[in-house]
Amino acid sequence: MRDRNGDLNTDHLVGDIGRRATRGGTIMMAAQLVKLVAQFGSVIVLARVLAPAEFGLIAMVGALTALFEIVKELGLSAATMQRTDITHDQVSALFWINTGAGCLIAACLAVGAPAIASFYGQPNLVPVTRWLALGFVMSGATVQHWALLRRQMRFSAIAIVETGSELLAFVVAVVLAFQGWGYWALVAQRVTAPFLVMAGCWALCRWRPSPPRRTPGIPGLLGFGLSVSGCGILSTLGRSIDQILVGRLFGAATLGLYERAARLVLVPINSINAPLYSVAMPALSRLVDEPHRFRRAFGVLIERVAMVTMPAAAGAAVASDWVTDLLFGPKWEAMSPLITCFALVAAVQPTLMTAGLIYLPQGRPSDLLRATAIDVGLAVASFVAGIPFGAVGVAAAYAAMGLVVRLPVCFYLAAVHGPVTQRDLYVRIMPSVWASLAVAGVVWVARHGVMPDSLLVAPLVALAVAAAVGILTAGLSFLLIRQSRDALKSVVQSLVSRPQPAASFAEEVAE
């Protein structure tokens, strides 16, 4: 008879963690690129068929139900991944807790749908909310299988599930949209995706839960999970309350513009965050007892995230009108200033998320909860300050708060304990800051003083030229700075040479 606890054993991963982390990062990034194409395709294609108000209608429910996504999980996937000595019976108990939470949330949404519709003044939200509630039933039954795949660092299986579900849900939405289903195409997309993820996780993860029963050790796991869940709830509130306010005060059409702009810019961020968490969380957890290697690995991690995201966000902020015209068309013209604001948010958001990874591998869930509460409070304050100036004012205030206040506060709190210092964090991101300023300046000069008028009226050509100029500027900037030049050299070396199996994650990403 197969040992049920064998599915949870991770001892075989430790000696080979470097190769697995590197290979896993490659697989997850490749999968995220495919998902990114699908998500961009979804945003662009559906925007050509549907009106902003139809997107706004779905966003009204999504902004409220985003909080329940975190409540459903209760942070228990993190507990399953982080604990080295967790048992089959404990995971089974966590499975039934997650499943019960998903069913309870779905029932509450079904009953509360009329209240949600009344809050926004949109009667059509009653059936929409009830259909979307089904997603919680399916995703609740998926949490522990999802966590076990990551615990075992089975990145190929994860990539198949997540990418396949994203692509198929996108196809369903596009087909229905072109057949005239309107916002119901978006509802179908949001219900199809969790169903496919559930089916895929159950098919690829051979672990199966035991019947519910009283199990020792669950209070400790729940305590850890609730700390993580509290952070997730606060973070989601910080990401959702602006959409709730915009939808309630300015209507579905304005929310549609606001939500599409945020989604367009934040899709790449989310595409980075998912593989980053999947690879870095288990790898850093195994290095926590080696402070020097942990510090080195974390420093390289945040440095490379900043090098990829900051210059790209700076270029998008300057060329937002071309992005809007090319991807969405004339009826979405009012979205351009929103894209500029969210691009500035995107310049710091991935770095903030990466800094947040420092807490759980070090066993600091209470510190993470405090830091998240402070960050969310700052974000909400910016939303309130921007409301008198409309949706653009909300987005602009959020961007300014991130650049001026949230990033320094985040670095201070993350470095209070442990081997990583504030200086380490600032030193690691400064080359990317200089490169981003250079990209923004050069692209602005190119479009306003150098680029011929004939190109300015052709968004596709103009955007391609701006992208090429931005990439060249960023590359030259990094080559001129020794620290980032060494980082680029390390990346090239890791691509052309096979890492040694015994190497650690820290050594492989830093050497």
Concatenated DSSP letters of 417-444: SSS--HHHHHHHHHHHHHHHHHHHHHHH
- DSSP one-letter code for 415: T
Q: Are 131 and 192 in contact (CB under 8 A)?
A: no
Q: What is the mean pLDDT of residues 314-320?
A: 88
The residue among 304, 303, 311 whose CA lies nearest residue 439 is: 311
Q: Are 463 and 323 in contact (CB under 8 A)?
A: yes
Q: Are 285 and 504 in contact (CB under 8 A)?
A: no
Q: How far apart are CA 97 and CA 147, in angstroms?
A: 14
| 418 dihedral zone (left: phi>0; alpha: psi -120 to 50; beta) | left
Q: How far apart are CA 334 and CA 330, in angstroms?
A: 9
Name the more confident of 128 and 62.
128
| 207 dihedral zone (left: phi>0; alpha: psi -120 to 50; beta) | beta
The residue among 332, 340, 333 whose CA lies nearest residue 443 is: 340
Q: Are 297 and 229 in contact (CB under 8 A)?
A: no
% of the chain with per-residue pLDDT over 70: 79
Name the more confident of 366 and 401.
401
Flag whether pLDDT at 215 surpasses 80: no
pLDDT value for 499: 44
Flag whether pLDDT at 470 surpasses 80: yes
For residue 125, CA distances in Å to 61, 83, 96, 441 come to 7, 41, 30, 45
Residue 418 — very low, low, confident or very high, per pLDDT cuts 50/70/90?
confident
For residue 332, CA distances in Å to 15, 50, 321, 456, 460 come to 53, 11, 10, 18, 16
Q: What is the mean pLDDT of residues 80-98?
A: 77
pLDDT value for 111: 93
| 208 dihedral zone (left: phi>0; alpha: psi -120 to 50; beta) | beta
pTM of the model: 0.71
In degrees to the nearest 10, what's the CA dihedral of 174, 243, 386, 232? -120
Flag whether pLDDT at 504 surpasses 60: no
Alpha helices, DSSP H only, in 86-183?
Answer: 88-120, 125-140, 143-151, 155-178
pLDDT value for 277: 66
pLDDT value for 412: 93
pLDDT value for 12: 44
pLDDT value for 126: 93
Domain ranges of the chain: 1-271, 287-511
Flag whether pLDDT at 148 surpasses 50: yes
Residue 503 — very low, low, confident or very high, per pLDDT cuts 50/70/90?
very low
**Mean predicted lDDT score pLDDT of the chain:** 80
Q: What is the mean pLDDT of residues 88-100?
A: 84
Q: How many CB atoms lie within 10 A of CB 237?
A: 19
Amino acid at position 411, single letter: F
Residue 465 — very low, low, confident or very high, per pLDDT cuts 50/70/90?
confident
| 390 dihedral zone (left: phi>0; alpha: psi -120 to 50; beta) | left
Q: How far apart are CA 283 and CA 281, in angstroms?
A: 6
Q: How far apart are CA 465 and CA 312, in angstroms?
A: 14
> Of the ranges 266-275, 371-380, 411-420, which one carries the lowest mean pLDDT score?
266-275
Amino acid at position 201, single letter: C
pLDDT value for 349: 87
Residue 15 — very low, low, confident or very high, per pLDDT cuts 50/70/90?
very low
pLDDT value for 343: 92
The residue among 394, 395, 407 whose CA lies nearest residue 354 is: 407
Q: How far apart are CA 237 and CA 424, in angstroms?
A: 30
Q: What is the mean pLDDT of residues 452-456?
A: 51
Amino acid at position 365, single letter: P
pLDDT value for 270: 64
With tokens 């968490």, the residue in question is 277
Q: What is the mean pLDDT of residues 123-152?
A: 87
Q: How far apart are CA 328 and CA 350, in angstroms?
A: 25
Run of H or E including 408: helix 407-414
The crossing angle, in degrees rounded to 10, of helices 422-445 and 336-356 is 160
> Of the ranges 123-127, 225-229, 316-320, 436-440, which one carries the lowest mean pLDDT score?
225-229
Angle at 103 between CA 101 and CA 105, to 5 degrees: 70
